[in-house]
Amino acid sequence: MAGNGIFAEILDGDVFKYYADGEWKKSNSGKSVPIVNPTTRRTHYKVQACSQEEVNKVMEAAKAAQKLWAKTPLWKRAELLHKAAAILKEHKAPIAECLVKEIAKPAKDAVTEVIRSGDLVSYCAEEGVRILGEGKFLVSDSFPGNERTKYCLTSKIPLGVVLAIPPFNYPVNLAVSKIAPALIAGNSLVLKPPTQGAVAALHMVHCFHLAGFPKGLISCVTGKGSEIGDFLTMHPAVNCISFTGGDTGISISKKAGMIPLQMELGGKDACIVLEDADLDLVAANIIKGGFSYSGQRCTAVKVVLVMESVADSLVEKVKAKVVKLTVGPPEESCDITPVVSESSANFIEGLVMDAKQKGATFCQEYRREGNLIWPLLLDNVRPDMRIAWEEPFGPVLPVIRIGSVEEGIHHCNASNFGLQGCVFTKDINKAMLISDAMETGTVQINSAPARGPDHFPFQGFKDSGIGSQGVTNSINMMTKVKSTVINLPSPSYTMG
């Protein structure tokens, strides 16, 4: 149970504490932030509303702890991460329970998220030991005008304090995907979890606490992003921001100082379906890609662009599968569960009504109860409809019928987003040409877009992000290169 057993110390009355200086604390603000259960629409948990003064203290402690951590042997950093991963996996049940109650994640998927997170932490520890143990050795005579009088040794050193801000949809996995690379690379880490998902994140942080990381190295400050977000992201002690979320990331990028940024933002992942595609495979992937976790995934299929000649057949196959999706509470692991908030449900409804007004074909009747929206496939969507371009982050999927592949590529590239995309065809040559033409960070051939496996590079173009994630890229991103040059009194040639 959340806040029980080994997690008892993170709860004070009915408010979960924040984590600073190796301890669980109550905020001096005396204020708390309610977390509304998307299913019941009632307050389920409360977290501390941390003050600016508390953020300042966390930053001071993070700076001091980082100096010592950078001197901690790499193998020892890895050892602690492996320990945290094991504790996290052992306590997957209470953490998964929080995900069910805070973000209405289907129970089975909630457990998977925690296990996947433990695996990510372990993989990161192993990868860090390998890649951070290596540097480069260069000699000067490879550049014109130089003799062999200089040896350059380069290595990767930590950035300092990394600020991690994950979104609500994977509050554990997208937190550890920032925490683990930051720590293995010798940084300290300040986490600001999403409000919906904060309690799951606090439980996860307690697993790192139990693993025995030094005081102050990891902290977790809670509070509404709209209230403490700017203070955190513009804090002078922060040396790197790793953010995953929506357009908020664009405004953070404009306000942040001259520090490395890792931004993983929204997407409008297109699924281009050619005439020769295996339509059963496409339909199965549209269901998985478009409706898993009720469409609340950055890499969900968010628009289907299908060749007119096979569109009727594909739409029929998808419709047949939509009827079979179970709709209901996350506790029962239903396929479609309530979306995260009432405002999110209202936004989705706005997109649906706009499509209705402009003449889209409704393959199912539109149905909503509270935050629960039944899965909906919208056929004959046209570019003048909002749903053709905007990210619903809900179980609503538009189908646009195209007359040529070029039309599909054009629609994909006209989007502000460029996260992922996918193409279905049996012709690998065509698939490669289309993949090269699509302006997205990743293109999947014959499968729906996906972020995992977590060690694959993952990046968004345009408004979908800055930089690249994936274990190796995140570790590299959270380091800087340091060179030492040895100057010799005379040219030195080996064995010459």
Q: Which residues are catalytic?
A: 264
How far, CA to CA in Å, does 436 sit from each of 220, 257, 278, 389, 430? 41, 34, 21, 21, 10
Coil/strand/helix, residue 300? coil
In angstroms, what is the minimal distance from the CB of 125 to ligand NAP? 22
Rounded (10°) CA dihedral 213, 218, 223, 228: 170
Q: Within a 10 A sphere around the Cβ of 291, how many other Cβ atoms?
A: 25
Which residue's CB is nearer to ligand NAP, number 100 or number 221? 221
- Give whichever of 65 and 103 is closer to ligand NAP, judged by the CB atom: 103
Neighbours of 112 (CB within 10 A): 15
Q: Which is nearer to ligand NAP, 395 or 465 (CB)?
A: 465
Residues near ligand NAP (CB under 6 A) are 165, 167-169, 194-195, 224-226, 229-230, 233, 244-246, 248, 252, 264-267, 298, 391, 393, 419, 460, 465
Q: What percentage of the chain's residues is helix, strand, coil (to nearest 5)?
A: 40, 25, 35
Q: How many angstroms separate the CA atoms of 444 and 143, rounded?
A: 40
Minimum distance from CB of 135 to ligand NAP (Å)?
30
Sign of the dihedral defined by the CA atoms of residues 194, 58, 212, 9, in that order: negative
Distance CA 382, CA 388 (A): 7
Least gap, CB of 264 to ligand NAP (angstroms): 3
Closest by Cα among 279, 283, 278 to 426: 278
Closest distance to ligand NAP from the beta carbon of 367 (Å): 23
Which CB, 3 or 394, lies closer to ligand NAP?
Answer: 394
Minimum distance of ligand NAP from residue 191's CB (angstroms): 10
- Contact at 8 Å (CB) between 117 and 88? yes
Q: How far is the CB of 41 from ligand NAP (least distance, A)?
A: 17
Question: Is the Cβ of residue 22 or residue 467 nearer to ligand NAP in the bound state?
Answer: 467
Using CA atoms, how far apart are residues 69 and 424, in angstroms rounded to an integer?
48
